[in-house]
Amino acid sequence: MIDALFKPLANGNDDGIMRELLVEFFRTSNGRKPKQIIVFRDGVSESQFSQVLNIEVEQMIKAYQHLGEVDVPKFTVIVAQKNHHTKLFQASGHENVPPGTVVDTKIVHPRNYDFYMCAHAGMIGTSRPAHYHVLLDEIGFSPDDLQSLIHSLSYVYQRSTCAISIVAPVCYAHLAAQQMGQFMKFEDLSETSSGQGSMTCAGPAPVPELPRSSVVSSNAFSIANYYLNTMRDQFCLETYPDPLSRRRKVRGGLEFVPSFLKPVKEDLRNKGVYS
């Protein structure tokens, strides 16, 4: 569950994610306040549906009320699932169903509000539809309007020129989570390597992004170090696969430079950007 939607601090402020989104919406929409909020959720199982409503939606409401607002917007919460074993075929044969197919009877839950949608066209293999569960609908969508909205959101993913298998907000959330995971992974590796004092991993060491600056000359020394360090580490990994022998060669820092890098180092030294 997401526990950072509403984070009250000791000084009375809110450091949660929802407050930042609400303030950004207010700033970019000419001072308008949201009256309806549609939430697409992914990565939860059916046993966690009640937690989404009781914890996450409750945090969103508290974050909105913390801004001094009384009229809480209406929420529609939809869970999108792809990890299931339901597949759809045409009645005339074993071909994939056409894109935009919706199944909301027979094979769905007898009491809950859910449906299957295959918004994309299967190019290879069997298409797997997305399973949507409507946990809360305070806005009051009709089934046709809600299914039409979800189908339209499958066409607005900017990395694809056609419909995708799931709504675009879920895909964008996956990209954001993946990028954040890379930053957290790099921080963990940096702390581990600094604590050990040497490079012991078998793969190439991750390199942080270069500092962005309009003045290239001020970063020339950093660029030279980055270039030489990267090529030197790759050379050591290929030449000395054993971690112990590689540490003996690398521990001298930039003193160890392969022969094919010496012309590069000399050229940088002549230009005054490397000593």
Is 183 domain-assigned?
no
Same domain, yes or no: 110 and 73: no
Is 266 domain-assigned?
yes
User: What is the reported pLDDT for 183?
Assistant: 76
User: What is the reported pLDDT for 187?
Assistant: 64
Same domain, yes or no: 51 and 88: no
Packing angle of the helix pair 262-270, 220-239 (nearest 10 deg): 170
- Provide the whole-model pTM: 0.66
Q: What's the pLDDT tens digit per position in 184-230?
A: 776 666 666 555 555 455 555 554 554 444 444 333 444 444 444 55
User: What is the reported pLDDT for 51?
Assistant: 93
Is 223 domain-assigned?
yes
Find the mean pLDDT for residues 169-193: 78
Is 182 domain-assigned?
no
Find the mean pLDDT for residues 127-156: 94
Same domain, yes or no: 74 and 47: yes
User: What is the reported pLDDT for 121?
Assistant: 86
Distance (Å, rounded) from C-alpha 13 to C-alpha 17? 13
- Give me the number of domains the chain comprises: 3
83 pLDDT above the threshold of 70: yes
Same domain, yes or no: 115 and 48: no
User: What is the reported pLDDT for 213?
Assistant: 41
Selected residue with higher pLDDT from 180 and 192:
180
Is 246 domain-assigned?
yes
126 pLDDT above the threshold of 50: yes
Task: Report the percent of the chain where pLDDT is more than 90.
Answer: 41
Distance (Å, rounded) from C-alpha 101 to C-alpha 87? 12
Is 31 domain-assigned?
yes
Same domain, yes or no: 163 and 113: yes
What are φ and ψ of residue 247, in 5° steps? -65, -40
Name the residue range of residue 161's domain.
83-133+143-168
Rg (CA), the chain: 27
Same domain, yes or no: 160 and 237: no
Find the mean pLDDT for residues 63-68: 92
Same domain, yes or no: 31 and 108: no
Find the mean pLDDT for residues 69-95: 89
Same domain, yes or no: 69 and 110: no
User: What is the reported pLDDT for 141?
Assistant: 95
Selected residue with higher pLDDT from 21 and 187:
21
Is 173 domain-assigned?
no
Same domain, yes or no: 59 and 2: yes
Mean confidence (pLDDT) of the chain:
77
Same domain, yes or no: 35 and 88: no
Is 181 domain-assigned?
no
The number of residues making up the chain comes to 275
Same domain, yes or no: 118 and 104: yes
